């Protein structure tokens, strides 16, 4: 079984709808991240969490919110989806304490299309 899973894998929705993307991990990592990938651009950080009570905005958090329900679960929500949020979304995890850097492990991605 995959260590980092994302659901759904593909989603088509309409402008104005609320969407939730879910991420689960079995690696026992404290740190979790949400990124989006657009053609021609590198992955960009939306939100990250160092533990259940520690959630931080990334470089492109506007229009998104997150919830860290447990160490293993980190959800990304689009309260009112808009077409320019059409992208490939990745969840990632890493171990290590605050201030240290550790290798990140990525989920399979969620392809979201907003019409």
Partner 1 sequence: KNEVEQSPQNLTAQEGEFITINCSYSVGISALHWLQQHPGGGIVSLFMLSSGKKKHGRLIATINIQEKHSSLHITASHPRDSAVYICAVATTSGTYKYIFGTGTRLKVLA
Under the binding rule (CB under 8 A), the answer on residue 56 touching partner 1 is yes
Q: Contacts with partner 1 in 65-104 (CB under 8 A)?
A: 88, 90, 98-99, 101, 103-104
Under the binding rule (CB under 8 A), the answer on residue 44 touching partner 1 is yes
Cα(96)–Cα(31) distance, integer angstroms:
8
Under the binding rule (CB under 8 A), the answer on residue 53 touching partner 1 is no
Contacts of residue 14, Cβ cutoff 8 Å, sequence gap at least 6: 81, 114, 115
- In this chain, which of 42, 85, 93, 114 binds partner 1, going by CB under 8 A? 42
- How many residues touch partner 1 under the rule CB under 8 A: the total is 22
Piece of the chain touching partner 1 by CB under 8 A; list 17-25, 40-48, 65-73, 79-87:
40-48
How crowded is residue 41: how many other Cβ atoms within 10 Å of its Cβ?
A: 9
Cα(104)–Cα(115) distance, integer angstroms:
32
């Amino acid at each position: 079984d995959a260590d980092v899973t994302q659901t759904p894998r593909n989603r088509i929705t309409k402008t104005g709808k609320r969407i939730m993307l879910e991420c689960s991990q079995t690696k026992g990592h404290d740190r979790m991240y949400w990124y989006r990938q657009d053609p021609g651009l590198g992955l960009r950080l939306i939100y990250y969490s160092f533990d259940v009570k520690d959630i931080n905005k990334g470089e492109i958090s506007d229009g998104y919110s997150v919830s860290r329900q447990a160490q293993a679960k980190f959800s990304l929500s689009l309260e009112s989806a808009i077409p320019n949020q059409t992208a490939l979304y990745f969840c990632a995890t890493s171990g290590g304490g605050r201030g240290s850097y550790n290798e990140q492990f990525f989920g399979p991605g969620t392809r979201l299309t907003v019409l």
